Amino acid sequence: MTTHSFALPIIIFTTFWGLIGLAGPWFVPKGPNRGVIITMLMATAVCCYLFWLIAILAQLNPLFGPQLKNETIWYVRFLWE
C-alpha cells in the first residue's frame, strides 16, 4: 500500500540498538551491579536487534505473495487505498 524503504529502518534501528548496546554501558553508574547491568544492556541490544533484523530480511525479497479470499480482496482493495 505504501512504499517502504529498506535503508531507513536499517539505519534507525541499527543506531537505536547500537546506542543501547555500545554507548549505554558507558553511562552505567559505578556500583556493585555495574557488570551485570552492562551485560544485560549488551545482551538485550544484540538479541532484539538480531530478531528484528531477521524479520525484515525475511520479507525483503518475497518469493510468493499472500493468498487472499475474495471477500478480503473486495474489502481491502478499497480500504487500504
Partner 1 sequence: MGSMFRSEEVVLVQLFLPTAAAYACVSQLGELGLVEFRDLNESVSAFQRRFTVDIRRCEELEKTFTFLEEQVRRAGLALPPPEGRLPAPPPRDLLRIQEETERLAQELRDVQGNHQALRTQLHQLQLHSAVLQQNHGPPPAAAHTDGPSSERTPLLPPRQGPHQDLRVNFVAGAVEPRKAAALERLLWRACRGFLIASFREADRQLEDPLTGEPVTWMTFLISYWGEQIGQKIRKITDCFHCHIFPFLEEEAARHGTLQQLQQQSQELQEVLRETEGFLSQVLGQVQQLLPRGLVQVHKMKAVYLALNQCSVSSTHKCLVAEAWCATQDLPALQQALRESSSEAGVSAVAHRISSRDMPPTLIRTNRFTASFQSIVDAYGVGCYQEVNPAPYTIITFPFLFAVMFGDVGHGLLMFLFALAMVLAENRPAVRTAQNEIWQTFFGGRYLLLLMGLFSIYTGFIYNECFSRATTIFPSGWSVAAMANQSGWSDAFLSHHPLLTLDPNVTGVFLGPYPFGIDPVWSLATNHLSFLNSFKMKMSVILGVTHMAFGVLLGVFNHVHFRQGHRLLLETMPELIFLLGLFGYLVFLVIYKWLCVTVTHAASAPSILIHFINMFLFSSSPTNQPLYSGQEVVQHALVVLALAMVPVLLLGTPLYLLHRWQRSRHSPRPAVGQQARCVDSSDACEKGWSSDEEKARCPGGEEEFVASEVLMHQAIHTIEFCLGCISNTASYLRLWALSLAHAQLSEVLWAMVMRVGLRMCGEVGVVSVVLVLVFAAFAVMTVAILLVMEGLSAFLHALRLHWVEFQNKFYAGTGYKLSPFTFAIQDE
In the complex, the residues that contact partner 1 under the rule CB under 8 A are: 1-6, 8-9, 32-36, 38-40, 43-44, 47-48, 50-52, 54-70, 72-74, 76-78, 80-81
Residue 18 CB, shortest distance to partner 1, in Å, is 17
Which is closer to partner 1, CB of 23 or CB of 76? 76
Residue 4 CB, shortest distance to partner 1, in Å, is 3
Q: How far is CA 32 from CA 20, 26, 39, 45, in A?
A: 20, 15, 13, 22
Residue 77 CB, shortest distance to partner 1, in Å, is 5
Grid cell in block for residue 47: 538479541
| Spatial contact of 20 and 41, defined as CB atoms under 8 Å apart | yes
Report how far residue 32's alpha carbon sits from residue 50's, in angstroms, rounded to the nearest whole number.
29
